[in-house]
Amino acid sequence: MKNLDLFNLGEAGNTKDSAPLAERMRPQKLSEYVGQPHLLGEGCLLRRAIEEDKLFSMIFWGPPGSGKTTLARVLASETKSKFVSFSAVLSGVKEIRAVIDEAKALWEGKKKKMILFVDEIHRFNKAQQDAFLPHVESGLITLIGATTENPSFEVIAPLLSRTRVLILKPFSEEDLVAIVERALKDEQKGLGRFAVKTDPATILYIVRLADGDARSALNNLEAIVSMVQSLHADKRVVTLEFAQEALLKKALLYDKDGEEHYNLISAFHKSLRGSDPDAALYWLGRMLIAGEDPLYIARRMIRFASEDVGNADPQALVIAVAAQQAFHFIGLPEGELALAQTAIYLAVAPKSNALYTGFGSVRETISQTGYLPVPLHIRNAPTKLMKELDYGKDYKYAHDYTEAYVVQEYLPEKLHGQHFYRPKGAGFEKTIKERLDAWQQIKKSAEDEK
């Protein structure tokens, strides 16, 4: 195959002078790569795979600017593999077939391996992901996917089982300082030829503004240097004040696709669970001001109403759903108050996770016992044959009995006496618990009489 222009960005290391600084400064080999010591430190999994030339298919999960694409290129360079970059946004099954054909020709002709890098792999649909499966399994290609989304939700299970998920963390301040300083000194690919003078405080400001994102740090550095590079040599000075003015004030850190998204929603959820309305309002405000999708927050509160409040206050779910509807109806900014009202209600509501743990127990039981048959007496019997087979025989219609309650087994025989839902006695669950205890006593009495 001669041309794969749609998705082939070439071999690792191809850069042009006109490319952005972040692209020009990409490390070409492992010794130049900064960060991710949990993957690349001595004796760590990925380093051993590189040193032993035993790369495996993997998915890099991490926030923007954490070095996913760069690391994939470095792996190709270190293992002397063909590097093909494949865009999940621009490519489909047709392009997948084309790159697989190239991989076959490459292996048959030169015995050379191909690393297929798929950026934003979470954007592939099921059919596209399925197309990779046999070739990943056979080892024809070493697939490296990159995603900012949780692979557990966005990547199909068969592909996940054939790859390893490696988490890339945001760069530390020390890492970013090293990256920025290297770019300032490098005369070939970086900004060294401009001989710009600065100081550690200014570099640290640029680094902290990027908050773990190497691409952002280099983009900001390039923007600042571009403002002084045409000045006389003794005027090419970047002070802290100049950097602050050039980059304006630091915006509230928030990346809806990155780690901070999960940090803030976690803080919000835990504040609600901890019955702290002030903290809940604060984290709600942080997310809304930073541009989070309000309906996402509403969905999380609806989930919280069932998971952490449950039947201790059944109104919690009603109010959470009402907030979603209210916001959908009136939008921004007025709809924010409905979300705030609900956040406070949930924070001060009585808490119970009995519903959550009960349903979890059900799932666990089903996984252990399999699909037990429905007892005959509670099966539906719409046909004569089913009645002859005793479907529905001896079923007791609850409304024919006092207070619409009758002792009768509804679980499979193997699960007789099993209790999944155990109300804790908080709020309305106290009433539920009293009812269940009374019914349990009636059951016990009935069994004792047998």
Per-residue three-class SS string for the chain? CCCCCCCCCCCCCCCCCCCCHHHHCCCCCHHHCCCCHHHHCCCCHHHHHHHCCCCCCEEEECCCCCCHHHHHHHHHHHCCCEEEEEECCCCCHHHHHHHHHHHHHHHHHHCCCEEEEEECHHHCCHHHHHHHHHHHHHCCEEEEEEECCCHHHHCCHHHHHCCEEEECCCCCHHHHHHHHHHHHHCCCCCCHHHCCECCHHHHHHHHHHHCCCHHHHHHHHHHHHHCCCCCCHHHCECCHHHHHHHCCCCCCCCCCCCHHHHHHHHHHHHHHHCCCHHHHHHHHHHHHHHCCCHHHHHHHHHHHHHHHHHHHCCHHHHHHHHHHHHHHHHCCCCCHHHHHHHHHHHHHCCCCCHHHHHHHHHHHHHHHHCCCCCCHHHCCCCCHHHHHCCCCCCCCCHHHCHHHCCCCCCCCHHHCCCCCCCCCCCCCHHHHHHHHHHHHHHHHHHHHHC
For residue 322, being part of any structural domain is answered with: yes
Taking residues 409-434, report their average pLDDT: 86
Taking residues 198-209, report their average pLDDT: 89
pLDDT of 258: 54
Domain end (from 121, 145, 167) = 167
Q: What is the pLDDT of residues 376-409, one digit of tens each?
A: 888 888 888 888 888 888 888 888 888 888 888 8
Tokens 């999380």 sit on residue:
300
Reported confidence tier of residue 450, pLDDT bands at 50, 70, 90: low
pLDDT of 352: 92
| Residue 266 shares a structural domain with residue 324 | yes
| Residue 38 shares a structural domain with residue 69 | yes
Reported confidence tier of residue 180, pLDDT bands at 50, 70, 90: very high
Strand partners, 309: none
| Residue scoring higher pLDDT (106 or 171) | 171
Reference 171, options 212, 229, 140; nearest CA is 212
Q: What is the pLDDT of residues 110-163, one digit of tens each?
A: 777 888 888 888 888 888 788 888 888 888 888 898 888 888 878 888 888 888
User: What's the domain range around 145?
Assistant: 21-167
50 close to 30: Cβ distance less than 8 angstroms: yes
Q: Is the pLDDT of residue 246 over 50?
A: yes
Reported confidence tier of residue 255, pLDDT bands at 50, 70, 90: low
86 close to 127: Cβ distance less than 8 angstroms: no
| Residue scoring higher pLDDT (386 or 450) | 386
Number of domains within the chain: 4
For residue 357, being part of any structural domain is answered with: no
Taking residues 260-276, report their average pLDDT: 87
State residue 395 phi and psi, 5-degree precision.
Answer: -70, 135
Exposed/middle/buried for 31, CB within 10 Å: 0-12, 13-18, 19+? exposed
| Residue scoring higher pLDDT (273 or 403) | 273
pLDDT of 281: 92
| Residue scoring higher pLDDT (387 or 172) | 172
For residue 141, being part of any structural domain is answered with: yes
Q: What is the pLDDT of residues 183-199, one digit of tens each?
A: 999 988 998 889 989 99
Reported confidence tier of residue 367, pLDDT bands at 50, 70, 90: confident
For residue 12, being part of any structural domain is answered with: no
Domain end (from 147, 167, 187) = 167
Strand partners, 283: none
pLDDT of 7: 40
pLDDT of 177: 94
Percentage of the chain surpassing pLDDT 90? 20
Tokens of 237: 């000075």
| Residue 301 shares a structural domain with residue 325 | yes
Q: Is the pLDDT of residue 427 over 70?
A: yes
Percentage of the chain surpassing pLDDT 70? 92
Q: Is the pLDDT of residue 308 over 90?
A: yes
Strand partners, 166: 60
What is the CATH classification number for the domain harbouring 239?
1.10.8.60
For residue 354, being part of any structural domain is answered with: no
Q: What is the pLDDT of residues 2-36, one digit of tens each?
A: 344 334 444 444 445 678 898 899 988 888 899 89
pTM: 0.52
